[in-house]
Amino acid sequence: MSAGAIGHAELAALQRRTVWLLSAGQVLGGFAIGATISLGALLVADVSGSDAWSGMAATMSTLGAAVAAIPLARVAVRRGRRIALSSGALISALGAALTIVAASVRSFPLLLLALALVGAGAAVALQARFAATDLATDRTRGRDLSIVVWATTLGAVIGPNLLEPGEVVGRIFGLVPLTGPFLFGIAAQLLAAAVYLFALRPDPLLIARALGAAADAAVRAEAPALESRARERFAILTVALSHATMVAVMSMTPVHLLHHGSSLTVIGLTISLHVAGMFALSPVFGILADRLGRLPIILLGQGLFVGALVTLAVGAETASAVTVGLVLLGLGWSASTVAGSALVTESTAPLRRPRVQGVTDTLMNLSGAAGGALAGPTLALVGFDGLAVTATALVLAVVVGAVVVGRRPASPLPVSG
């Protein structure tokens, strides 16, 4: 398909196809992550011989996603989304395979490296949401991005429920305990790589770049985009701090509930409802961001964060209140991340977008890792209610930034960057 020959209808049809293909890849990627990363902590504890190291599973996968984000963005700049996304999925599949090897030979360093490689799958998931915006108009950018974010949950919900079947398959192949489900992860990531590499044609980023000034004007005919470095920095800050707020509080919730006598069933239900809050309504927030603007939905997300943190601080001793707080926390993350990600894209010149998006994903993961790491000492020092109160400082920073940026005019977005 020649970029110069694409009209409005063809461009809209190509965008719809791109969103559905990205969503299919996200379902497979979410399935792979859900089927494998939930066993990471158990494997780390088993191979290391100490439960104290179990948290390194999440840490390494998060750091792996952070490290992979910028290189994958550079690949996208040079070769397009198709190559970048499929490469990330293949790296994640390699990590799952190395995890099986590391567990078999009882190598703790190799296991940590393997889990970091598995984390590349999370980097793919983050880049895919931005890929959904390459050919989107300002009227649909938030919606298209949020659909791809939502699709991840389908696989992520199914994946953890296949741990037992995975163990059965692992025993058939003679694998050591706890590694069978990683076979599902390998297969899912290989299928995701195939979807990205062979079906994502033409490449949305390359088409967007080849369209040139005339097509760019056609895509944006309904509402001219605006560039503002201040808005760009604010959008990145919003995504990073919102993720840090969510991770800091969520990661300590199971520990808090367990210490207050809640059963594993209650803890599992609470986290499940939290995850549902993170993703289930993301298309709603995407549509609202398109219709009402990015800043109002970011502020809505921060308002949900405040509701969550107040609920958790006041009702820290009550399991039902903690559950409500975690649901609100997930909703706040969803609204802030969807609107913030859309604002990152539309505040950045086209040629700079992939690089800026890679930086956004890296800072998002690093902020989450820092939030999780600092949450433990904070919980020990001031308790769960104190952790909730402390987290409001991150919310306040985003709100102040929104007020400052909202008062600054933006300049026309240059096509060439």
pLDDT digits (tens, 9 = 90+) for 259-271: 788 776 777 778 7
Q: What percent of the chain has pLDDT over 90?
A: 52
What is residue 222's predicted lDDT score, i.e. its pLDDT? 42
Fold entry, domain 226-412? Growth Hormone; Chain: A; (1.20.1250)
pLDDT at 237 over 50: yes
Domain borders along the chain are 3-219, 226-412
Distance CA 39, CA 340 (A): 31
Q: What is the pLDDT of residue 284?
A: 95
SS3 134: coil
Helices 8-48 + 56-79 axis angle, to 10: 150
Q: What is the pLDDT of residue 138?
A: 82
Nearest of 306, 294, 273 to residue 388 by alpha carbon: 306
Region of poorest pLDDT, from 51-55, 104-108, 224-228 = 224-228
Q: What is the pLDDT of residue 156?
A: 67
pLDDT score at 177: 87
Mean of the pLDDT values across residues 135-157?
85
pLDDT value at 356 more than 80: yes
Please tell me if the domain spanning 3-219 has the same topology as the one spanning 226-412: yes
pLDDT at 171 over 60: yes
Q: What is the pLDDT of residue 224?
A: 44
Nearest to 363 by CA among 256, 250, 235, 214: 235
- The reported pLDDT for the residue numbered 324 is 95
Residue 411, pLDDT > 80, answer no
Tell me what pLDDT residue 87 has. Answer: 97
For residue 220, what pLDDT is reported?
A: 47
Can you tell me the mean pLDDT for 73-79? 92
Q: Which range among 167-171, 242-246, 355-359, 376-380 shows the weakest confidence by mean pLDDT? A: 376-380
The whole-number pLDDT of residue 68 equals 92
The DSSP secondary-structure symbol of 199 reads I
Location of structure tokens 């369209």: 211
If one compares 215 and 153, the residue with the highest pLDDT of the two is: 153
Specify the fold of 3-219.
Growth Hormone; Chain: A; (1.20.1250)
